[in-house]
Structures are given as C-alpha cells and as structure tokens.
Structure 1
Amino acid sequence: MRALFARHALLPDGWQRDVLLEWDAHGDLTRVQAQAAPPLAVPRTDYVLPGMVNLHSHAFQRALGGLTERAGDGPDSFWTWRDLMYRFAARITPEQIEAIAAQLFAECLRHGYTSLCEFHYLQRGPNGETYARPAETAERVAAAGHATGMGLTLLPVLYSHAGFGEQPLRPEQRRFRTGVDDILAIVEALSPLRGGQLEVGAAPHSLRAATIDQVRELAASLPAGRPLHIHIAEQQAEVEQSIKFSSRRPVEYLMEQLSVDERWCLVHATHLNDEEVQALARSGAVAGLCPTTEANLGDGLFPLQSFIAAGGRFGVGSDSHVSQSPVEELRWLEYGQRLLHQRRNVAFTPAQRDVGQYLWQAALRGGAQATGRKVGLLAEGMRADLLVLDGSHPNLDGAQDADVLGRFLFCGNDNLVRDVLCGGRWVVQGGRHVAQDAITQRYRQAMTQLREVSQ
C-alpha cells in the first residue's frame, strides 16, 4: 500500500498526532493529514520523521575507513591523510566505485539518510585517460543510487590545478583532471538521468584546484537553479595559502569575486572570521558541515554559535564516511560546540529551544536546499522520504513528542531507525536494507581486489 498512519509525525510546523501519509507511484507525497482517523488496512506506526539529507559525500572513500589511523613520523594532518586516499584513487575501477557506493548508500539509508550529494571527482581512468563514456564513473554512482533507492544529487567536480596560482597537477591527481568544458559535458551526459530521485549540479573542487575565473565560468554556464558546491577554508594551511596568493581569506575571496547565493553550498568553511560568518549568512548559501570527518582529519570546529545567531543556513554530510549516521554528525556538531564554549545546549534559537529538534529541522532545511530536490519535509508535493523509528526500543519508551529527537540524538548508540521509505519505496525494513546480501557480496569482492593498496 502507498500509505502509512503515524501516531506521531514531525511535520513542518512541529510534531502532530494521528497523521495519515499517502504517496503516488512517482514517489511524491499526495496527502499529509493530521488528526486523521486510522483507515482500515493501512499500516500503523508510532514515530515518523522526514529522512535526513547527507549534503557531502565522496563515496569511494568509504573503502578507506579505519585504514589511516596509524601515526607517521611527523605530525599527521589532512595533507598526510591524502597519501592513502590517492593510492586508492589511483587503482579503483568503475565497477568497484559502483560496489563501494552501493554499500555506502545502503548503510546511510539504514541510519536515516534518504538523500545524498555526491561530490564526485574520479572522472578519468588510472592513467588519466578519458573513458569512452566521459560520465562513466558518475553513471556508476547513479546506478548504485538506483539499486539501493538512495536519492542523489550528482556533482561532477572541476579539478584543474594542485594549488593556488595554477600549480600543475601531481601525477597522483591525474584521474581528477577536468576543465569547465569537461564538467559541462558530463553534466549534459547525465541529464537523461534527472528525475524525482536524481538531480545534477556541479562542484568546483576548491579555490586551490580551480581558478576564480573557472569557477565564475562554470557558475554562469550551469543550467539555472542547479546546485553548486565547493570545498573551502577546511584547513588553516589553505587559509594561509589563500592569503599569500590573493591577500584574501578563502571565503572572503570567493564572496568578493562571485555572486554567491542560495544555490551554493560552501563545504566545511571551518576557518571563518567574524566578517566571513556574517557574509556567508547574508548570502543565503548553505554551510556544509561534516563533523566526524572534520574531527577525523583534525580540521577544527566551525563557528556554529555565531553563524546561527546571524541567521545562517547549514546542513550535515558524512564526507569521507568514517561514520554513516546523521545522529553522530548532529551529536558531534553540538558536542564540539559544547567543548569549544564549555557550556551546554548551544544549537538553538529563541523560537526553537529544543536542541535535538532544532538540529534535525535546521539540517533538513539546509540540506534540502543544497540538493536542489523536493526533500526535507513531510508535506504534499515533496518526495516520500521518511524514517520510522523503533517505538519499542527502551530509549523511546513512553516518549512525549517533545522528547523524541532528544532521545534519538543524545541517548546511546543503538540505531533507532527501523524502516525507511525513500522516493515512495521501502528500502529498509526491520533495520536491514532489503538488498543487503547482494550489496555486501559485491562490496567484499571490491575490497578484496583493493586490499593490497593499503599494505
């Protein structure tokens, strides 16, 4: 049946009781009615949430999980972590990309992500050659999305240089090499895949990897309304390099040179001064925050408190996939701020003082904007993306509406997501992806082939 009755559901205006949800064959919600009588034969459940958006992903990096946690001879950082990442990137095949992406997407769905933005920069073959189909590897990611049911925004990445000042790419970066024309050709090749479950935007990798003129050209050439994402100000070294090159900090430089607006997502934006915080908030762009990856790489902490006060928009992503759980991203987004400010309950506004509910709904708003898709709300006309929580779990026993998200985000490590509907399709049931066995088998085969790279 294309219907579900929820005793408690988080709607745009907050928690509502006795909510009837219906959707059509295209995966769009056609009815969201609170205070409804439970129809006969319609499945009933206790707690329903809108599915979360994962606004920043490098799917192939799922294969690196746990393999970079050994100290080197000197201080380790993002820059030393890249060495192993490059070794994987040099060897991975399109078939392996698809298998790893499918495993990742199944894990993300199982934990409550129903939309994902794939920041995809593995465009060429191992020796830097162009595939017969220029969008070959992006199409593999799309195939993984279709197989698992994950809603996708594909972001082919513009990657032309190794550093500020048009430094030539290093040999290990040859698979990433693209110019503006390459990206536009890939975007065009992916156009037939666009639909309710898939959007196509683009992503200048960073101001290190693309010149400001290239970024401007790509932004102007991309079809109107399509999302644009960019890595920016992730590490202090990047900020220092930007100042040396342009006499401007990265966000300052981007804002000065381009009209940054609502279709932009500035990923990480970790190291901002007060003026940049205000400028980013005013622009309407989304700050794409990835707390578990930023912690894993030792990047730093985003100035969340001042950004919220300025009315800024944000969402969360799992980036390198050391975690596939939105609960962990949101929990550590808040906990990082508590450690930084040495106080409790940082992420809230005067209008929404419940930290769990504020974090979930704010991340949904920002994440939905970053996808360019109709997601993030349980409302008519939106995609039928929802999570059914396990109302029988002790953490939710007797929970009042106001307590549900606090218990979900800040109580224990059990996964409380029981069932997941994505684009009107039940993809997780009883805490397990419906195609998990086949997905895992292909993933294991890919990892067996790649394992020698990490030795």
Structure 2
Amino acid sequence: MTPHNSLFAKNALLPDGWAKNVRLNWDASGDLTVVQADAIPQTHEMQHEFVLPGMINLHSHAFQRAMAGMSEIAGDGPDSFWTWRDLMYRYALHITPPQMQAIAAQLYSECLRHGYTSVCEFHYLHRAPDGSFYPDMAETARQVIAAASHTGIGMSMLPVLYSHADFKDQPLRVDQRRFSTDVAQILQLLQQLESSRSGQLEVGVAPHSLRAANLAQIRELVAALPAGRPIHIHIAEQQREVDACLAATGKRPVELLLETGLVDSRWCLVHATHLTKNEVSGIAASGAVAGICTTTEGNLGDGFFDLPAYIAEHGRFGIGSDSHVSQSPIEELRWLEYGQRLRLQGRNIAQISGQRRVGDFLWQACLQGGAQASGRRVGQLANGKRADFLILDDTHPNLQDLAAAELLNSWIFSGNDNLVRAVFVGGKQVVQGGRHVDQERIQSAYVSCMRELRKL
C-alpha cells in the first residue's frame, strides 16, 4: 500500500464500537480493503488519534440552501410551513441550472466540512422556469451531480415524481410548473442517468408525497424500478397534510402507504412526524428508515417525531439537513435528542439497554439508517465499504486527553466549534485543516450566484 491509500488510527469507530490501533487500507476505486485492529503502524502511514465513519445526509433539497435565513420575517397573519412553501416556490422559479450547481457545490462543501460524507438529493426542479423541459431532460439533475463530483461528496440522486397539487389528483399550481413529472418521465430520467452510476453515485426515485403522487402512480413506479434502488417519500410532515389525507381517503398518510404492501427496506419515510402508535409499529416492522430532519422540522414548526416509541419498536432512522438551515450533523443530532427532552421533560432519551451513551447510540444508529436509505455501501469502516471517514481535531480542548468512549458524547453535546479536521470520501481527501480543498473557488461561484438571486 502507498502512503495515499493507507491510514493508521489510534482509535477508530468500527461497527461494534471503538477499537485501538486500526489500520485502514483502500483500493483505487475508493473501497476499503483492510480494516485491522491491534495493528502496528508503518512508517509510511498517516497516523491520527480519532477516526470515524462520515455521516449520511439522507434528505436534501440543495437549491434551498440559497434561501436559508431569508424567510425569518413574520407576515401579517400566522406563519407556518404553508406560508414558507409559497415563498420557496417563488424562489425556485428563478434558479438557473448553473446556479443550481453553484448552490449545491457550496452546500456540499459545507456538509463535508461538518462531517457528512454522503447525501441523498431529493431533486424536483426538473423543468425550465417556463415549465418546459430542457433539451436534455436530465439537465438540472446533471448540474447537481456535477456539484457532488466537484466537491467529492457521495450521492444518491432521487428524481422526484410530482404530478398533483393535493389529494384527489388536484392539478398543479402555476408556481409548481418546474416540478411537473409523470411516471414515464421519471423512468426516462433514470435511464438517462444510468450510465452515471458508480461507487460514488446511486440513482433511485422519490414520489414527492401522497399529495403529489397517487397510489396508482407509486405502484407503477416501484414495479418498474430496478432492484435494490432507494425510494424516498415525504409523509405526515404536517398535521394539515394528515387531516387532508383523512378527508380525501378516510385514512392517515402512513396508514394508507403501509396498506399498499409496497414499503420495505428500500424506503425512507421522510419526516413521518405525526404518527399513531400503530403507524410507529408499522414503519418499524416494514424495515423502512424514518428520515428525521430536526433543524428543518424545528424551523418550519412541523412537530416532534416520537423517537422513544420508535426506538422501542427497533425502528431504523437517520438524519437529513433538508432545507439546510444547518449543515451540521452535530446540530441535527443534538436537537433530535434535545427536542425529545423538551417534549418529555426528561434526559438521555435516545438510548437502549446495550448502549446507554446517547451520542454513541445516535451516531451509530444514524450511520446504519442513513446507509440503508442511501442504497450505497457506506456508513461503516469495514471491508468492501466506501472509504468515507472523518479525522477529528484531537488538539481541541474538548478532545485532548479524552478516552475514545467519551468522544461522541463530548463532540455532540459540548460546544459549537467544528471539530472535523480532515475528511476522506472514496479514499480521497476533500477537507484538510477544516477547509474544503477547493473552498475558495466554490465560495466565489456561490457569492456571484447569490448576487444575482438577491436582485429578484
């Protein structure tokens, strides 16, 4: 092994927990080939104190990074998810494909710097502002994929099926025209992106929601999808959505989806905020992943996911940054736990009998859930997995002289300094000294893009 594909960790987080003196080797394609504990360091190897798998961001709308912080002005009446959505639609109508790439590259570089190494991109800005497709139907998806390639983040691209404005197949609104797709068009997009698939990129699908895609369409899409591809859907994010589904169908959204028998381990049910006890049990039993996006759910006033009930049912879950009011998995995990503490007026909620350390439980659970939701070989330092890992700053006061067993709790629950010093994705270093290796050029393109968008 050369110095460029070998690393020695004094402490590394393996699937079964922290291990000492771990050698990592990876091949030219970016896959781990050796994960050896109790090893002896070689003179050519990079040596680091704390190494752990990078987190998977299982839900992203990259273009929304450009409007983060711009919707925090109260209107004349009560503000909600629905008033925010109207603002987002108006913004989305003006973004060009090159601007999408600039915004996505800025976002992905930020995600990498904070510890995400993979992203699931829930991509629905398919059409031009006038509602027509670009000459290349996959133009906007390719721009976002290019941003991932430029920054080095791993990606699951999820073209979104978006046909209706609401239940009972209501026609799309004029300001939703860029989202419009039917099943045949989504399948055509998949075919056009097929040759792009690699160790760094998977391609799945995302019926936007039960409001925007009916059950017949979802059945048709799932039946035509190649085996093993990820399927994501927004569901039960807002109480108004639940009420509308009940009025239209007599059933709640999760209840309705589970009754199709389609939901299995390929699925990620994003948000799933408003659930009955039976729906909690049903999601867990299906093997699907619950995609929790705490900072966005807090920003939009969605409500609280019932995490302890879901953990008790052995449900799988992961985290996503969604609208990107935060790009930090630490903030996402911290507020996932703190939200439960506020809701239940208790402490140390996210834990199980085999793992009482809240930070360790959350990081490992979200690695597993995120990897499953991505449909990619990520989330573990293990042979055959992608060489996606973080090196933390052991010189920081929060980590100096710290036992590995205390690291995740200290990192997640003490302070706001970014402790990620270096990041490798597919064996390639993309963050060095806390900065993205191409940070200046990415930021310059983003600033130029935002100068134009702020003129709107």
TM over 0.5: same fold?
Answer: yes
Name 1:100's counterpart in structure 2. 103
Is 1:30 matched up with 2:33? Answer: yes
Structure 2: state its 5+ residue gaps: none
Equivalent position of 1:168 in the other structure: 171
The one-letter code of the counterpart of 2:91 is F
1:394 partner SS: coil
The reply to whether residue 319 of structure 1 matches residue 346 of structure 2 is no
Tell me which residue corresponds to 1:398: 401
Structure 1 residue runs of 5 or longer lacking an equivalent are: none
For residues 51 and 155 of structure 2, the distance between their equivalents in structure 1, rounded to whole angstroms, comes to 22
Determine which of 204, 208, 216 is the counterpart of 1:205: 208
1:291 equivalent in structure 2: 294
Task: Tell me the distance in 1 between the aligned counterparts of 2:15 and 2:150.
Answer: 30
| In 2: Cα distance, 1:410 partner to 1:288 partner | 22
Per-residue Cα deviation, 1:13-36 (whole angstroms, up to 9, x for no partner): 110001111111100011111100
Cross-structure match for 1:381: 384
- Candidates 178, 181, 188, aligned match of 1:178: 181
Deviation per CA, 1:139-160: give whole Å up to 9, x if none: 0011001000000000000000
Shift of 1:259: 2.1
State whether structure 2 residue 337 is matched by structure 1 residue 343: no
Among candidates 445, 448, 451, match of residue 448 of structure 1 = 451
1:157 paired with 2:160, answer: yes
Name which of 405, 429, 436 aligns with 1:433.
Answer: 436
Written as runs of structure 1 = structure 2, the 5 A alignment for 1:245-260 is 245-260=248-263
TM-score normalized with structure 1 length: 0.99
Instruction: Please list the CA deviations of residues 293-333 of structure 1 after superposition, one character each: whole Å capped at 9, or x if unmatched.
Output: 00000000000000000000000000000000000000000
User: In 2, distance between residues paired with 1:356 and 1:236?
Assistant: 30
**Quick check: 2:377–2:385 contact (8 Å CA) kept in 1?**
yes
Q: SS of the counterpart of 2:441? A: helix
**Which residue of structure 2 aligns with residue 356 of structure 1?**
359
Contact 1:281 1:311 in 2 (8 A): yes
Measured against aligned partners, the alpha-carbon deviations of 1:74-122 in whole angstroms (never above 9, x if no partner) come to 1101100012211111000000000000000000000000000000000
- What's the counterpart of residue 80 of structure 1? 83
**Residue 166 of structure 1 aligns to a residue in which SS?**
coil
Q: What is the DSSP-based 3-state SS (H/G/I as helix, E as strand, rest coil) of the residue aligned with 1:427?
A: strand
Q: Quote the residue 1:420 is aligned against.
A: 423
Q: 1:402, CA displacement in angstroms?
A: 1.2
User: What does residue 70 of structure 1 align with?
Assistant: 73
SS of match in other structure, 1:48: strand
Structure 2 residue identity aligned to 1:185: Q
Q: How does 1:269-284 map to 2 (within 5 A)?
A: 269-284=272-287
Supply the distance in 2 between the matched residues of 1:197 and 1:339 (Cα, whole angstroms): 38
What is the CA distance between 1:41 and its match in structure 2?
Answer: 1.9
CA deviations 1:113-133 (Å, max 9, x no partner) are: 000000000000001001100
Report the 3-state secondary structure (helix = DSSP H, G, I; strand = E; otherwise coil) of the residue aligned with 1:207. coil
2-structure distance, mates of 1:174, 1:41: 56
| Among candidates 250, 267, 271, match of residue 270 of structure 2 | 267
- Counterpart-to-counterpart distance in 2, 1:210 and 1:289: 21
In structure 1, distance between residues paired with 2:188 and 2:445: 30
CA distance in 2, matches of 1:215, 1:237: 22
Say if 2:219 and 2:262, in contact at 8 Å, map to a contact too.
no
1:193 is the counterpart of 2:196: yes
The alignment partner of 2:78 has SS state of coil
Superposition TM-score, scaled by structure 2 size: 0.99
**Structure 2: distance between partners of 1:418 and 1:397:** 14
* In structure 2, C-alpha distance between the alignment counterparts of 1:151 and 1:435, rounded to whole Å: 16
Offset from partner CA, 1:184-203 (integer Å, 9 cap, x none): 00011011110000000000
- Measured in 1, the distance between the counterparts of 2:168 and 2:373 equals 29
Shift of 1:252: 0.2
Quote the Cα distance in structure 1 between the aligned partners of 2:204 and 2:46: 37
Matched, 1:17 2:47: no
Counterpart amino acid of residue 257 in structure 1: T
CA distance in 1, matches of 2:84, 2:320: 19
> Conserved in 2, the CA contact under 8 Å of 1:316 and 1:330?
yes
Partner of 2:113: 110
Superposed displacement of residue 452, structure 1:
2.1
Give the counterpart of 2:336 among 323, 333, 337: 333
Q: Give the Cα separation in 2 of the matches to 1:208 and 1:397.
A: 50
Shift of 1:401: 1.5
CA distance in 2, matches of 1:43, 1:376: 21
- Please tell me whether the aligned partners of residues 230 and 373 of structure 2 are also in contact (alpha carbons under 8 angstroms): yes
Equivalent-residue separation in structure 2 for 1:205 and 1:119 (angstroms): 8
Name the counterpart of 1:223.
Answer: 226
Q: Is 1:216–1:258's contact at 8 Å kept on the other side of the alignment?
A: no
How many angstroms does 1:172 deviate by? 0.4
Moved over 6 A (4+): none
Answer whether contact 2:8 2:45 (CA < 8 A) is retained: yes
Aligned partner letter, 2:428: R
